Amino acid sequence: MFKLTQVSTATRYALCLLALPTSVAANEIQPVTSMERMIVTGSRLAERIDEVPSSVTLIDQQALAQDMLISTELQNLLAFRVPGLAPSTGTSSNSGQNLRGRAALVLIDGVPQSTPLRNGQLDISSIDAGVIERIEVIKGSTSIYGNGASGGIINYITKHASDDKARVNVGVSSKFSAVKLQDSAGYRVDTSIDGTLDDFSYVFSAITEKTGVERDAEGDIIGLVYGLSETESNNFFTKLGYQFDDDKSIKLTYNYYEAQQDADLIDVIGSVNSGVKTYAIKNTTGIANQGVPQGPRGNHNVMLKYVDQDIFPHTQLTLDGYAQKIENMFFYSTALANLSEGYAGGQSLIKSEKQGMRINFVTQVDWDNIESTFIYGLDALEDISSQPLEDGRIWVPEMDMQNLAFYLQTKFVIADDWILKAGIRQDSVDLTVDDYQTLKLCRTESTCSVPFDVTGGDLAYDSTTYNVGLRYNLSDAFSPFMSFSQGADISDLGRLLRTATVNDINLIRTEASIVDNYELGFSGYMGELRYEFAAYRSESELGTSNSFDATTGVYLPVRAPQKIWGYEAQLDYDLTEDISTGLSYSWIEGKDTEADVYLDGSTISAPKLTSYVNWQANDAFNVGIHYIYVGDRNRFEKINDQYVGAQGPIEHYNVVNVSSSYQLNQWQLSLGIENLLNEDYFSARSQAYTYGGYNTKSLGTTINLGVKARF
């Protein structure tokens, strides 16, 4: 006989938050207890972290707000806060910024922002940090969310309405170089209003930011490949909710984000092999720059969500529909030249349109000393993606994917201390590609790739993936956990199609890659000390790496088995009531097991150490210091006296950032300093990537001054 009267307070709270995925996110309901140790992403339900048998990272609103005093770039923030995430690239692209060596699926309130069919690796910066309430990061391949999540999940949970009738927030700030002020000053304006009127809730936000030129430690303008100089971004966000009764609610969310670089600059190209940096100068040639502004032209997201907390006895229903449209424009490149046909270069864009619906049920039943939860439902998604060129040529043809998935996720809390989780997901994917011709690309007028007429057709993928995890909360001081999880990944199919060397799509190795992820770790609390350690290993029979074709200059995909392994450790300690500190360390390595060679810098990152000290001097004044160390990685030899591909050696560097704020009634004054010591360095990616124009130095000392008010 079911005994719901024995459900714990925490479990009742979890039940009231159950959602698909994060559909009734932790930030959208006022908690009866602190949400600091709750997570909603990993299993599609709200649960305490000490009931999750894997490592996760939570970035709450307080940490977000403090880090944004230094920089609003989500890549920088995540690189510091998330062990296992590769160091920031310092650009708009997160290429090489993998999660445990594999691609992460980026979500906004559970809606995918990544474009896995043609992964342009611009998804981390798909929303302004100013509309995010908290970020939840689940590490390791997952069978919960499907394609594109072989490395884990990064879920941006957007802001919720306050209980006030109207709450107004206004913030203004300016960021500029302390090395050379000229043309470097930019501005940011962040405004929002939110509140609750009876059963109706609302959030309206408008954010605009314009950067000046970004300068390195020597005062030179940082290069333009995925550059951030003279970029204007806009984010418009709306969330409307209505509570029909205690059980039923509906919510409509719309988010628009754009960030385009329109700079009157030209690059002076250097090289990793020569040791000369790439930097930008003012265009004084009198000839207009080729191409159009690079960056997201417009990222549209519409989400409609209906929740019934008691559709059946002990069962919650969530209906979740969404639509998305993305256009990401890349920089102009001479690598897309075809001189015989009049093209001196080209500029590509990734276009992606998604629409989907998810039906999710959560049923909870308890007996004796076992609390059990069953999450089950249906995911339906259509994803139409392509990569044309701005001049009308087609590089990657339109790919129309239809994905239908059924899943069951279970959780058992046994005698309060043992947590057992297990799940299964069945995916059926149908993908259609019309006949197309691969693009002819030329290094010179006579040195070109060979175009192929490829017969299109239908591709079908059926996969069943599993996950199982166990955690034992032996004591507050020691809680071991272990997990196994699979991910089915057909990500970046477009890269395979655009480099086809056969005349039929069915002859291209487009098989899905099944990633097996194993994790073992422990965490605990001892007084004011909190810690976590995790070791992991992931294996796949079909990874994706690149091989350089010296004749055409094209990097061709290679499907080969991969093994990736590493470990992470994190410590946090409250020295006093006013001073807190902590550090994290992550190390990762990987190999192509067929050729027995190490994986390059596009997949494997250098070791990373971070630490912080935060001092709350009084109710009004706060100071924080962040330190980031990126270590050495040198696994490759030169080929013909040159490093190729992403095989450049990485040398260590150190970065110190400072944030401070002073609260005066409803006003806040803030000062942030990025790269306080003016470290002169190339980012890890800039050192590893030998491609022309990528070896740019990172920001020198940069000041961010701001003022905010809340009414």
Per-residue pLDDT at 5: 33
Regions of the chain where pLDDT drops below 50 = 1-35, 552-553
Per-residue pLDDT at 27: 34
Per-residue pLDDT at 490: 78
pLDDT in tens, 399-457: 999 999 999 999 999 999 999 999 999 999 999 999 999 999 988 888 888 898 999 99
pTM of the model: 0.91
Per-residue pLDDT at 24: 32
Per-residue pLDDT at 143: 66
Per-residue pLDDT at 25: 35
Q: Which domain holds residue 407?
A: 4-434+443-710
Per-residue pLDDT at 557: 61
Structure tokens at 449: 């790739």
Contact 330, 294 (CB under 8 A): yes
Per-residue pLDDT at 544: 58
Looking up residue 701, the CATH number of its domain turns out to be: 2.40.170.20
Per-residue pLDDT at 499: 83
Per-residue pLDDT at 10: 36
DSSP secondary structure of 310-355: EEETTEEEEEEEEEEEEEEEPPPBGGG-BGGGTBS-B-BEEEEEEE
pLDDT in tens, 305-350: 999 999 999 999 999 999 999 999 999 998 899 988 999 999 999 9
Cα-atom radius of gyration of the chain, to the nearest Å? Answer: 25
The number of folded domains in the chain is 1
Give the span between the Cα atoms of 405 and 463, in whole angstroms: 10
Query: What does the chain come to in residues?
Result: 711
Contact 322, 353 (CB under 8 A): no
H or E stretch at 687: helix 684-688
Per-residue pLDDT at 502: 80
Within 30-109, strands assigned E span 38-39, 47-48, 56-59, 104-108
> In this structure, what DSSP letter does residue 79 have?
H
Per-residue pLDDT at 545: 56
With H, G, I as helix, E, B as strand and everything else as coil, classify residue 617: coil
Per-residue pLDDT at 51: 87
Q: How many other C-beta atoms can be found within 10 angstroms of the C-beta atom of residue 466?
A: 13
Per-residue pLDDT at 288: 87
Closest C-alpha to 92, from 390, 293, 236? 293
> In this structure, what DSSP letter does residue 116 have?
G
Give the span between the Cα atoms of 375 and 500, in whole angstroms: 41
